[in-house]
Amino acid sequence: RKGSSRKKSELDTKSSPKQSNVAKCQANARTEVERWVRRALDKGVGGLREEFLSLKRYIPEGMTTNAFQGTFEAGKSRYKDVPCQDKFRVVLRWPGVTDDYIHANYVATPINEKRFICTQGPMPNSVIDFLAYGCARGK
């Protein structure tokens, strides 16, 4: 690496933690990523857009979106077709805020059911909720 003061041998011999929460990569991960990148570049923006529009939205069996209903009209959700799942939605808890809805879901990985959060950019009517959520999470 440019600007790195460590030698390659130092990086290679560094011991790994005994217990790691990081999911293991497949042996061919690099090849698969390179194949994916080549395919994306070959398709181009137009081809990727066309493919995206042709895909059927995946809806898990038993998924409910009750909290999401009506939030688009209220200016709290950016897209009608990108719902928050009730089961994994982030619930806003902040003093003085009566509405607990924020367009955000916990996303699972193989090692943790609540590994990270996906959210939309805030809308004019949800900026305060978005900032309150960020402050509450920072505690």
Short-list 136, 139, 138, 122, CA closest to 93: 136
Question: pLDDT digit of tens for each residue in the chain (139 aa)?
Answer: 454 454 444 444 444 444 555 556 677 888 889 999 999 999 999 999 998 888 777 778 899 999 999 888 888 888 888 888 999 898 888 777 778 888 999 888 777 776 788 888 888 888 888 887 777 766 5
Question: Is there a contact between 103 and 119 (Cβ–Cβ < 8 Å)?
Answer: yes
* Whole-number Å distance between alpha carbons of 85 and 108: 13
Give the span between the Cα atoms of 138 and 36, in whole angstroms: 36
Break the chain into its structural domains and give their ranges: 8-54
User: Does the pTM of the predicted model rise above 0.85?
Assistant: no
